[in-house]
Chain A
Amino acid sequence: MLEASHVTFKIGDKALISDVSVSFAPGKLHLLIGPNGAGKSTLIKVLARLLRPQAGRVEYESVDVRTASEPELARRRAVLSQAVEVAFPLTVREVVMMGRYPHFGGRPGPVDERITDEVMELCDVSEFSARNYRTLSGGERQRVNFARVLAQLWRDRASDLQVSCRYLFLDEPLTFLDIRHQLEFMKKVRALAEATDLVTVGVVHDLNLAARFADRIVLLNDGRVVSSGTAAEVLTTDRIREVFGVDTTFVPVEQGGIHLIFD
């Protein structure tokens, strides 16, 4: 369980998020939506402890996240960012292996090697394992980084007792993906998020993708939580007009979901 209570983060006098209280349960996919500048990425960074809020607290399983040491936190919290630039020639496998860095001291052990192979297989990047990361397309890079992030959170079925939750944050992961890769990515995340010890929080821009894949949606505006709940609860014509400034028509789709058309 991840809980933020009365969190405020400011730069100078400007509050990027103010008095945000929200909680995220394991085993569910939570997606943050909101217009540009609503504070989605800031909230992700505060939740992941990259940014320290001036007020309020963030708790992982009722323990204040400020008390965790860096290496300890890195073993159970991972963040997939928008675009990762690599400064020097690195092979794809070297980039994925970085996800295991918090788990070994000097050199990777056999478990780290095996996990790296597994996540590369899962993310369809095994075939370019030896390629230079910098020669990859945006979509390929994103898959490599997703594999790296999964490697960081991967638990060895045999050796690890699942004592504490793992936390996966996705900061606008779809930005550089085409429609097919967006869908493939969301399906993969959807499947992973069902793990009972995994808390998954992501930021997406596409309201239809959010409505289709999220278990819970958190709608942010001006650094505050406007509404949270299921897609049907959060996405109403009035709210979308108020927050995004567009008019919406809802079309029911066969699978029991909704589709939004904007005017």
Chain B
Amino acid sequence: MTTPSGSRQSLLFVLALILLLVLAASIRYGAIDFSIPEIGRALVSLLPGQPEPTLSQRIFLELRLPRAIFCLLVGASLGVGGTLMQALFRNPIVEPGLVGTSSGAALGSALFFVLGGMLNLSTGLWTLPLAACLGGVIATYLVFLLARSREDGRASIVMLLLTGLAVNALLMSAIGFLSYIARDPQARSITFWSLGTLSGASWRAVEIVALSTIVGTLIALRYSKQLNALMIGEEEATYLGVNVNRLKWIILSINVVIVAVATAFTGVISFVGLVVPHILRMLRGSDNRFLIVGSALLGATLLSLADLVARLSLRPAELPIGIVTSAVGVPVFLWLLRRRRYVF
């Protein structure tokens, strides 16, 4: 288990290269394939003084490209969210989807669609992400409140998982009810909320998710050393000069914002946030600075790959992304857990 920082940097470099390759594949292949010269001409048509883009160029610029970038950002935010939650709760099986954050955010956004549609509320650009964040915060808080032991106030991992399971089921049934009474076509689709989809990508969604993901990740990086100290326990971290309560609030807030904003546009996508930090830890250890950067890159790569599979397997139709992430993520996760080198 040697983990010199140089080997971590070279792994991050390799991950960035792989991400670029996957991104290239992701903008080329789909319901329609684009050749590289076509992509070049489409991009050139954006420059001033060029003729209006053709239909196929517009499909590329308005559907394919934002979707590829959106997918990358959502994957990055799920990866970083998983790393932050695992570091904060000092447990390798916590992820935003398991403790209610994602389904709470989904319920928040479903409420937004249904109430907005019924009451004809005029809503601004930020109402949907705000509703998702609020739902995410409330659901996460609820899970931890219910999972807490009456004796010492700590949430054991078994309680956390069982409570998360119950709260998720409750939230999903509420979402089911809302989608049943909804008029808005997006909110009507129960698959959208429970299995996730990236088809809602647009440049507007890209802008909002880019803001939350990039700002959230940069702030989280500033706390990577404090998160490292937390690995040896809350008391020990305090002795090392960490204000543990403040750290908890900051990290929980970052996580809720980046995960809820992504979930507002995609529904619940599980297992990316769980698997990504594990893979990185097994490759190069548990340093959180490395894990945060690495999980942004690897999360983006894995979700882009999953999206490619979802788009290509049933062309021209597409699979809900959650089916792919679970089908690939769960066996990989189980296999990784059973490898002997990884001591739990």
Contacts and interface: CB of A to CB of B under 8 A. Distances in A.
A94 B239 contact: no
Interface in B284-319: 285-287
B285 A94 contact: yes
A95 interface: yes
Interface stretch (A19-27, A131-139, A251-259): A131-139
A89 B239 contact: no
Given A98-B232, A134-B343, A89 B243 contact: no
A246 B235 CA distance: 34
Given A50-B235, A131-B1, A90 B285 contact: yes
A78 B241 contact: no
B117 interface: no
A85 to B, nearest CB: 6
A134 B281 CA distance: 14
A102 B240 contact: yes
Contacts of B233: 81, 84-85
Nearest to A75: B241
Contacts of A102: 240-241
Contact of B236 (A70, A81, A90, A132): A81
B229 interface: yes
A130 B2 contact: yes
B240 A94 contact: no
Interface residues of A, number: 34
Contacts of A134: 343
A98 B228 contact: yes
A91 interface: yes
Nearest to A85: B233
Contact of B241 (A71, A130, A131, A135): A71
Contacts of A152: 239-240
A77 B287 CA distance: 24
A176 interface: no
Interface in A14-65: 48, 50
B229 A101 contact: yes
Nearest to A135: B343
Contacts of A101: 225, 228-229, 240-241
A87 B90 contact: yes
Contacts of B5: 107
Nearest to A103: B241
Contact of B3 (A75, A94, A99, A135): A94
A86 interface: yes
A141 B24 CA distance: 48
Interface string B69-94: 00000000000000000100011100
Interface in A121-152: 130-132, 134-135, 152
Contacts of A119: none
B208 interface: no
Given A70-B242, A88-B92, A101-B240, A94 B287 contact: yes
Contacts of B239: 48, 50, 74, 77-79, 152
Contact of B281 (A89, A95, A99, A130): A89
Contacts of B335: none
A91 B92 contact: no
Contacts of B7: none
Given A89-B281, A89-B342, A132-B1, A70 B231 contact: no
A50 B238 contact: yes
A260 interface: no
A240 interface: no
A73 interface: yes
A70 B245 CA distance: 13
B157 to A, nearest CB: 11
Contacts of A77: 239
Nearest to A88: B286
Given A48-B239, A78-B239, A86 B281 contact: no
A128 to B, nearest CB: 10
Contacts of A48: 239
Contact of A81 (B92, B235, B343): B235
Contact of B232 (A72, A78, A84, A135): A84
Contacts of A95: 232
B126 to A, nearest CB: 33
10 contacts: A70-B242, A77-B239, A81-B233, A87-B90, A89-B1, A90-B286, A98-B228, A101-B240, A130-B2, A132-B343
What 4 pairs across the A-B complex have the smallest Cβ distances? Answer: A74-B241, A87-B90, A88-B286, A71-B241
Given A91-B2, A101-B240, 19 more contacts: A50-B238, A74-B239, A74-B240, A75-B241, A85-B232, A85-B233, A87-B91, A87-B92, A88-B90, A88-B231, A88-B281, A89-B1, A89-B342, A90-B285, A94-B3, A94-B287, A98-B228, A132-B343, A152-B239
